[in-house]
Amino acid sequence: MTVTVAMINELRQRTNAGMMDCKKALIQTDGDMEAAIKVLREKGLAIQVKRADKESKQGIIQALTSADGKTVAMAEVNTETDFVAATDNFKKFVNAVTTKVLEGTEDLDAAMKEDLMTIISQTGENVKIRRTARYTLEGSAILASYIHMGGKIGVIIEVGAEKTETLTVPAFTELVHDLTLQIAANAPRYIAGTEVPQAEVDAELEIKLNALKEQKGKLPPEQALVGIKKGMTQKFFSEICLLDQPFVKNGVGDKTTISQLIAKIGKELGDTITVKRFVRYQLGAK
């Protein structure tokens, strides 16, 4: 039987094995697709297929910075067990993935396909390149990254200042580092309340008001609800918005928020400091 390109492509899609391996397997089995899959599995080249039903919740989050400090990349790569995640081969694979992201590789799946099949074959586990991020400096700012708990949480942040000289002042760089710690610890989803979709605010208020009604038996008069809703919204923002969160290094009784901290440092430096963007990954979480 003639082995066609279409048959080879189908087998590749079903197994993620290399083109030549697929071709050889199809020739060996006279074009029998299921038999070819079995051959590839026996050779350890289609482990991803038989492991596809297993969840990959372990792994590593890694961040790398370019030599000039102008680009930072982060990648989350998952596997099934923390045992495999701790191996040198897996760490080497994660580093290769993050390096490709740092370099700006457009088709990461294609670039890492053979390496991915190799690590799957070596470990016998389902390995996934789950997500990646790449920040390049925009204007007068610095980039910083932070990896927490040995690769369980990763953060990239870009913080700007109006004066170029501010970017190298220790008070500023310390603030940026503290912000990465804040994001790692308190998992904000937005920078400020103005970014939160109104639908999300409304949904949260509905939950809070229904709970209040359940507790009190009825809701307060509409006039009183205005203040109650405002307080509920502020509380919600203090949980999900970076600038509204209390600073994690606050002492007992200190209620300084991140926005107040940034304003304080900015005043001391005679500059305006702005959080431009951030990304936070937590292993296995959304």
In tens, the pLDDT along 87-98 reads: 999 999 999 999
- The verdict on domain 54-136 having CATH code 3.40.630.10 is no
* The CATH number, out of the four listed (3.40.50.1860, 1.10.8.10, 3.30.1330.10, 1.10.275.10), of the domain defined by the range 5-51: 1.10.8.10
In tens, the pLDDT along 31-61 reads: 998 888 878 877 765 545 444 445 678 999 9
pLDDT over 60 at 86, yes or no: yes
State how far the alpha carbon of 132 is from the alpha carbons of 9, 51, 176, 204, in Å.
27, 23, 22, 30
Do the domains 138-196+241-286 and 54-136 match in fold? yes
In tens, the pLDDT along 186-208 reads: 999 999 999 999 999 999 999 88
What is the percentage of the chain residues whose pLDDT exceeds 90? 70
| Residue 107 or 211, more confident | 107
Distance CA 281, CA 286 (A): 8
Distance CA 246, CA 275 (A): 16
The domain ranges of the chain are 5-51, 54-136, 138-196+241-286
Query: What's the average model confidence in pLDDT over 79-87?
Result: 94
Which residues lie closer than 8 Å to 222 by C-beta, 6 or more apart?
Answer: none
Distance CA 175, CA 177 (A): 5
Stretch among 22-26, 67-71, 167-171, 234-238 having the lowest mean pLDDT: 22-26
Distance CA 182, CA 174 (A): 12
- CB < 8 Å & 24+ apart, contacts of 85-90: 85/58, 85/59, 85/60, 85/151, 87/123, 89/119, 89/122, 89/123, 90/59, 90/60, 90/119, 90/123, 90/127
State how far the alpha carbon of 75 is from the alpha carbons of 99, 132, 180, 212, in Å.
9, 4, 16, 42
**Mean pLDDT score of the chain, rounded to an integer?**
91
Strand partners, 58: 79
pLDDT over 50 at 170, yes or no: yes
Span 138-196+241-286: which CATH code? 3.30.479.20
pLDDT at residue 73, as a whole number: 98
